[in-house]
Amino acid sequence: MIKKYEVLNNVQKAGIVAVVRGNSADDAYKTSVACVKGGVKAIEVAFTAPHADQTIAKLTEKYADDDSVIIGAGTVLEPVSARLALMAGAEFVVSPSFNKEVAKMCNLYGVSYMAGCFTPREAQIAMEYGVDVVKIFPAALVGAKAISEFKGPFPQMSIMPTGGVSLDNLSTWFDAGAFVVGVGGQLVGPAKTGDYDQVTENAKKFHEAFAKLNA
């Protein structure tokens, strides 16, 4: 199997992608480790965090022997950040909106690109440029019904709702056909006060809830 499809398969198995921002490189690193410790093993380190590429490199090294842990980059807005992420070892790249040059960069290096889209036109253009997963963002504004509406004209589309996913509505998103979900504050919020143990507890709850959906 081609590497990027192995990664996509592992991301789908993980079910939950932790969106990690952090106010420092150390904070982002500790938050990511806390998520993995709790069972959420797909990590999206956002480029809003200082030195995100260094955090990605550090996490990639830490989990080099654990194929179940997938480290990616988030909030990648342009190709320079994309290349920094890829050189640091990011296994997937996520953007809040679609960028053609980022798509080309990811295609060049054989890495999955997950791009934010909000309209059918945006989604179609993204898929034409090889986007593997369409990120519906912010998902809270459209609700789970948006997945079936998108899949009407685009049945082949893999969708990752992000923004508004919680433990309470997790099953709703997957019942609607989500490929995977992205979770930020509901999962990693306690890291803002340095409570990484609570991040781990939140991760356990999300992991267990996802596992029950697939039992």
All domains in the chain, ordered by first residue: 3-214 (3.20.20.70)
Is the pLDDT at 1 greater than 80, yes or no? no
The pTM (predicted TM-score) of the whole model is 0.96
Name the active-site residue from 135, 145, 151, 192.
135
Q: Which helix (H) or strand (E) is 188 found in, with range? A: helix 185-188
Is the pLDDT at 21 greater than 60, yes or no? yes
Q: Which of 132, 105, 107 is nearest to 117 (CA)?
A: 132
pLDDT at site 138? 87
pLDDT at site 199? 98
The pLDDT of 35-58, averaged and rounded, is 97
Name the active-site residue from 4, 30, 41, 44.
44
User: Each residue of 98-112: pLDDT tens digit?
Assistant: 999 999 999 999 999
The rounded mean pLDDT for the chain is 96
Beginning with the edge strand found earlier in the chain, give each strand of the sheet holding 92-95 in spatial order.
159-161, 133-136, 112-117, 92-95, 70-74, 42-46, 16-20, 181-183
Quick check: is 145 catalytic? no
pLDDT at site 95? 97
Residue type, 99: N
pLDDT at site 192? 95
